Homo-oligomer: A and B are copies of this chain.
Amino acid sequence: MSYKLNYFTFKGLGEPVRFMLAYGNTEFIDNRVEWEDWPNLKPSMPLGQMPVLEADGEVFHHCIPICRYLGNKFNLAGENSLENYKIDCVAETVNEFRGKIAMWYYYDKQVKDEKYEKLINEVIPFYLEKLEQKAKENGGLLAINKITWADVYAIAVLEYCNVLMGCDLIANYPNLKKVYEKVMAAEGVKKYLATRPEDKIPSF
């Protein structure tokens, strides 16, 4: 089985897929597409966007569906549909949180300054407190009382959000820290992190 992940040269929406593959101890081609090559490549991607994972003879797109698919493969899914709902729901919540930060990040400087206070004092703590509460209920895991793809997805997204905000967002959330440590302690993740290239963030 060969795996090839196509994404840009930074964390973004590709990182959760990289983390999933790493967590599953799967060798993969980490095809980091340079920004200048993207216009030529774009039309060949199913919806003109990445991440796109080539695996199992199929071409997969959309970050969360890819992570769910890999989660099923790597025994990181729930045992029944209620557990799977809980996993999905964490992933959606984390994705919504990322969306709020990313939307802010890509505003121009003046609008960013205006919106910063609300983001840092209201929006971010709102989501992090909800997630902290879930992590507390599940003994340091986000969805249920075993590690799932939602934990792996969440930590990869949080890493990206830290880059966008320029700080460690979960520094004061002890139960989210536990999730972070569990994901980062996985053998495959440690191996991936040891050789992960630095982000090359394009200037938009």
Give A residues with C-beta under 8 Å from B.
Answer: 46-48, 56, 58, 60-62, 64-66, 68-69, 72-73, 81-82, 84-85, 88-89, 92-93, 96, 126, 130
Contact of A81 among B62, B73, B82, B126 (CB under 8 A): B73
Contact between B92 and A64, CB atoms less than 8 A apart: yes
- In the complex formed, the residue of B with least CB distance to A60 is B85
Chain multiplicity (copies): 2
Given A69-B81, A69-B84, 10 additional A-B pairs, CB 8 A: A46-B130, A47-B96, A47-B130, A48-B126, A61-B89, A62-B88, A65-B89, A72-B81, A72-B84, A73-B81
**A84 partner residues in chain B, CB cutoff 8 A:** 68-69, 72
Contact between A88 and B64, CB atoms less than 8 A apart: yes
What 8 A-B pairs come out closest when comparing CB atoms? A65-B88, A72-B81, A69-B85, A62-B92, A65-B89, A62-B89, A65-B85, A69-B81
**A68 partner residues in chain B, CB cutoff 8 A:** 84-85, 88
- In the complex formed, the residue of B with least CB distance to A62 is B92
**CB-defined A-B contacts under 8 Å, sample of 28:** A46-B130, A47-B93, A47-B96, A47-B130, A48-B126, A56-B82, A58-B82, A60-B85, A60-B89, A61-B89, A62-B88, A62-B89, A62-B92, A62-B93, A64-B88, A65-B85, A65-B88, A65-B89, A66-B85, A68-B84, A68-B85, A68-B88, A69-B81, A69-B84, A69-B85, A69-B88, A72-B81, A73-B81
A88 vs B46: C-alpha distance when bound (angstroms): 15
Interface of chain A: mostly helix, strand, loop or mixed? helix
Contact of A69 among B61, B65, B66, B82 (CB under 8 A): B82
Q: Which of A65, A84, A93, A126 has the most CB of B within 10 A?
A: A65
A130 vs B48: C-alpha distance when bound (angstroms): 11
Q: Which of A48, A89, A93 has the most CB of B within 10 A?
A: A89
